[in-house]
Amino acid sequence: MNRVVDLHCHSRYSDGTLSVGDLVTLAKSRGVELLSLTDHDEVSGIPEARKHCAEQALAFVAGVEISSEWRDMSIHIVGLRVDDKNAVLTSLLAGARKARDDRAQRMDDAFEAVGIRGALAGASAYAPNPDLISRTHFARHLVDSGVCGSVGEVFTRFMKPGKPGYVAHQWVAMQAAIDAIHAAGGRAVLAHPARYETQFLGGPSTLLKCFAEAGGDGVEVVCAAHNPPEWAQYAALARRYDLLASIGSDFHSPMESRVKFGDLPRLSPNLKPVWHDWPEAECLYA
């Protein structure tokens, strides 16, 4: 089987730069056959995504990327094939967005303390969804206002732990995120596992083991954040902990994203795909 699946991407409802319609059109034009929209802590784009995918004959499952916390570290969990109207899920997401507003204010204070004024007002102008403010919006504002040369530079100089624009933030517990995804009938997938700094926490193996023990269902094996040795490493860990495997480009923007829709390799056949029993995925086996 050689079909294109992408179960992780972002629209303007979170920190992507494309409208849902343009995102779906781009995915279709790049050969994607099964898509999930997984905005950060937000499902408001799902009805539009469902409509555009239906119009373009692209198989779709509703998704979300929940910002959560494990051992004081921020961990992203993608919920796939969720019921986007489920009250347990939507109330957890509403709380997460409210907490983002509070964090954004504290970030504004932190930037002001190092002489950068009006960072939140500037970031807000880059956030098309006023209900979802992200560090990415701060980064785009600081690039366009000339403080830094690139989004990456803003993160490195200002927005990582220990840097002047970074503020500590308590996300929901990993367990709560997994439970909310399950309450909404979805599968919980650990996003881009190689991105986490697990070296003092037992390494990636400990994280995947804890995730599986907490009821997590799958892990992104093939994603833009991984290099080829990491695809193999996470394939082995998925098998060891009996986790389903997923693929996601984590696409945000044609200008910023390293990987284009459709460019990631397929999953190795000795992994069980997270979509293996979804009716929406039947088109892949036709």
Give the nearer residue to ligand AMP in terms of CB position, either 95 or 279: 95
Pairing of β 172-173 and β 187-190: unpaired
15 binds Mn ion per the rule CB under 5 A? yes
Give the nearer residue to ligand AMP in terms of CB position, either 53 or 151: 151
Give the nearer residue to Mn ion in terms of CB position, either 182 or 252: 252
Work out what residue 152 binds among ligand AMP, Mn ion, none; the CB cut-off runs from 5 to 8 Å by kind: ligand AMP
Binders of Mn ion among residues 101 to 160 (CB under 5 A) are none
**Residue type present at position 273:** P
In the numeric block, which tokens belong to residue 163? 């840097």
Instruction: Report the C-alpha gap between 236 and 231 in whole angstroms.
Output: 9
Alpha helices in 132-242 (DSSP H): 135-144, 151-154, 174-183, 203-213, 228-240
What would the x/- binding string for ligand AMP be over residues 30 to 69, using CB under 6 A? Answer: ----------x--------------------------x--
Binders of ligand AMP among residues 242 to 271 (CB under 6 A) are 252
CB of 132 to ligand AMP, least distance (A): 9
**Residue type present at position 75:** I
Binders of Mn ion among residues 31 to 90 (CB under 5 A) are 65, 76
Phi/psi for 30 (5° steps) reads -95, 10
What would the x/- binding string for Mn ion be over residues 185 to 224, using CB under 5 A? Answer: ------x---------------------------------
Q: Return the range that interacts with ligand AMP (CB under 6 A); candidates 85-93, 105-113, 134-142, 257-265.
A: 134-142
Q: Return the range that interacts with ligand AMP (CB under 6 A); candidates 149-157, 217-225, 235-243, 272-280.
A: 149-157
Closest C-alpha among 239, 185, 170, 180 to residue 214: 180
Query: Could you identify the residue written with the tokens 């997401």?
Result: 93
Give residues with Cβ within 8 angstroms of 283, minimum separation 6.
33, 34, 59
CA-angle at 253, arms to 249 and 255, nearest 5°: 115
In the numeric block, which tokens belong to residue 119? 């960072």
**Residue 36 in contact with residue 62, Cβ under 8 Å?**
yes
Q: Return the range that interacts with Mn ion (CB under 5 A); candidates 27-35, 229-237, 250-258, 262-270.
A: 250-258
**Under rule CB under 6 A, how many of the chain's residues touch ligand AMP?**
10
Give the nearer residue to ligand AMP in terms of CB position, either 6 or 33: 6
111 binds ligand AMP per the rule CB under 6 A? no
Map residue 177 onto helix, strand or coil: helix
97 binds ligand AMP per the rule CB under 6 A? no
Instruction: Report the C-alpha gap between 24 and 21 in whole angstroms.
Output: 5
CB of 123 to ligand AMP, least distance (A): 10
**Other CB atoms within 10 A of residue 21 CB:** 15
Residue closest to Mn ion when measured from CB atoms: 76
* Cα distances (Å, whole numbers) of residue 278 to 119, 246, 274: 44, 13, 8
Give the nearer residue to ligand AMP in terms of CB position, either 90 or 134: 134
Query: Which residues of this protein are in contact with Mn ion, per CB under 5 A?
Result: 15, 65, 76, 191, 250
Query: Which residues of this protein are in contact with ligand AMP, per CB under 6 A?
Result: 15, 40, 67, 134-136, 151-152, 155, 252
